[in-house]
Amino acid sequence: MKTLRLVASRFFLYFTNNKIIFVLFLLGGIACSIAFIHFYGNGTSYKKVQAEDNASLRYYALEFQQPVPQPEVDQEVLHNENICDIELAHALVQEEMPISIEGNRRFFIKTKMQNGAPLYAEKGRVAFTQQELAQAQRVVILPGMVEALYEVEIGSTMRILGEAFTVIGMSTDMEGFYIPFSVFEQWGLSVSEFSVTLDQKLSVADNNAFIAQLHNAYPTAVLTQSPSNYYSLASERFSLQLFSISVAYIVASLSFMFLMKFMLDRNSRENIIFSIVGASRAAVLRVLVLETAFLSSCAAVLAILLHAALYKPFFSRLNVFENLTYTVWDYVVIWLCVTLLSCLAAVPFAYRYIKSSLVENKNRFSI
């Protein structure tokens, strides 16, 4: 407590004797802190994944060890208002193939149990009409590569599992023959794989909870794709990226730490007096570090308040990618990092006191 009171009194002394230098130091700290906030958000894959909202971060795919009947897929976990697309796939064996394909390529009869993620077209239509769905019409959307290998035209007929289907289009999917869900259900096809797409991506915690629900609902299925891979990779890179940003911050902060050194030099007489009256070198060094920590902490808090207040009208326009947000936890991490890094940057300036002996300092100031 005495040390804190001493630090507080020295701040008042710094401000009284060196108002301009004191303010310039705070401004330098605020500028570097705002730069740290910007690069923390735009320079780490952890925040990038949070900001992105592409389909791969909302997509979950499962593969059954053995094909299951379609009704067994329709579990309560899929009756979720956040699920916008459910796709079922029946793996075709060689004798079921509607076309002859050399090699070991896998093909599927696919259908949309719930259609919220439309296919991309290469040619023709890639969506079924309400009439085609309701009447279980025999229409099919082919894989895009079929047209390249075979002369298949829109409107031509192709036999699938012994029945004639009219080709209405070709999608960018390279392995799926898409048919209406009503036909898939009518035939009673088994399901080898299925996928769900959410209307918005989940947080890391919600993602883990949803995956746990899928595992509980489908214990024989293997999760082959989920956002967890992206989240894990982002977490692995975060430490190295934060280290790089921290190094850049230390280099930048050195440009204004000489102001702190100037204030320390102007008040070094006090440090020498502390030593003369019995304060250990470690105690004086602790005071110096606490001074830097407190000033840098104040600068970081001011920078965070300024950034939060002006984020939407100004700072968000400087972002590399859209939808980037900062949470309270992000600001806490930033505040801790800036405070600790500032103390680290101040070490070279405190080294002069550590290196000098008491006699040298006394002679220097003629005490």
Q: What per-residue confidence (pLDDT) applies to 337? A: 92
Q: What per-residue confidence (pLDDT) applies to 201? A: 87
Q: Are residues 298 and 254 in the same domain?
A: yes
What are φ and ψ of residue 306, in 5° steps? -65, -45
Alpha-carbon distance 96 to 98, whole Å? 6
Which of 164, 198, 226 marks a domain boundary?
226
Q: Are residues 328 and 360 in the same domain?
A: yes
Q: Are residues 88 and 210 in the same domain?
A: yes
Place of tokens 């701040």: 11
Number of CB atoms found within 10 A of residue 6's CB: 17
Q: What per-residue confidence (pLDDT) applies to 251? A: 82
Q: Are residues 278 and 359 in the same domain?
A: yes
The single-letter DSSP state of residue 298 is H
Structure token pair of residue 27: 């401004």
Which of 226, 259, 277 marks a domain boundary?
226
Alpha-carbon distance 358 to 356, whole Å? 7
pTM: 0.70
Alpha-carbon distance 11 to 3, whole Å? 12
Domain that holds residue 84: 59-226
Q: Are residues 322 and 340 in the same domain?
A: yes
Q: What per-residue confidence (pLDDT) applies to 98? A: 64
Q: Are residues 102 and 142 in the same domain?
A: yes
Alpha-carbon distance 10 to 5, whole Å? 9
Alpha-carbon distance 250 to 341, whole Å? 6
Q: What per-residue confidence (pLDDT) applies to 85? A: 92
Q: Are residues 326 and 284 in the same domain?
A: yes
Which class for 95: exposed (0-12), middle (13-18), buried (19 or more C-beta within 10 A)?
Answer: exposed
User: Contact at 8 Å (CB) between 283 and 6?
Assistant: no
Alpha-carbon distance 324 to 41, whole Å? 7
Q: Are residues 211 and 75 in the same domain?
A: yes
Helix, coil or strand: residue 181: helix
Given the DSSP bridges, would you call strands 139-143 and 163-171 parallel, antiparallel or unpaired?
A: parallel
Alpha-carbon distance 1 to 148, whole Å? 80
Which of 198, 226, 254 marks a domain boundary?
226
Q: What per-residue confidence (pLDDT) applies to 279? A: 55
The H or E element containing residue 178 is strand 176-178
Number of CB atoms found within 10 A of residue 194's CB: 24
What is the tally of structural domains in the chain? 2
Q: What per-residue confidence (pLDDT) applies to 48? A: 75
Place of tokens 């746990």: 212
User: Contact at 8 Å (CB) between 56 and 227?
Assistant: yes
Which residues of 180-308 form beta strands (DSSP E)?
A: 190-198, 221-225
Q: Are residues 201 and 176 in the same domain?
A: yes
Q: Cα dist. 270→7, 100, 170, 264 in Å? A: 12, 91, 82, 9
Q: Cα dist. 34→39, 50, 305 in Å? A: 9, 20, 10
Q: Are residues 297 and 249 in the same domain?
A: yes
Helix, coil or strand: residue 44: coil
Q: Are residues 67 and 206 in the same domain?
A: yes
* pLDDT tens across the length of the chain (367 residues): 555 665 666 666 666 777 787 788 788 889 889 999 999 988 887 777 776 777 888 999 999 999 999 989 988 888 888 899 999 999 987 766 666 555 567 889 999 988 777 788 888 898 999 999 999 999 999 887 776 556 778 888 888 888 899 999 989 888 889 999 999 999 999 999 999 999 888 888 899 999 999 999 999 999 999 998 888 887 778 888 888 898 888 888 877 766 666 666 655 555 555 555 555 666 666 777 777 778 888 889 999 999 999 999 999 888 887 788 898 999 999 999 999 888 887 777 666 655 554 445 555 544 4
Structure token pair of residue 158: 């192709």
Q: What per-residue confidence (pLDDT) applies to 367? A: 46
Q: Are residues 69 and 209 in the same domain?
A: yes
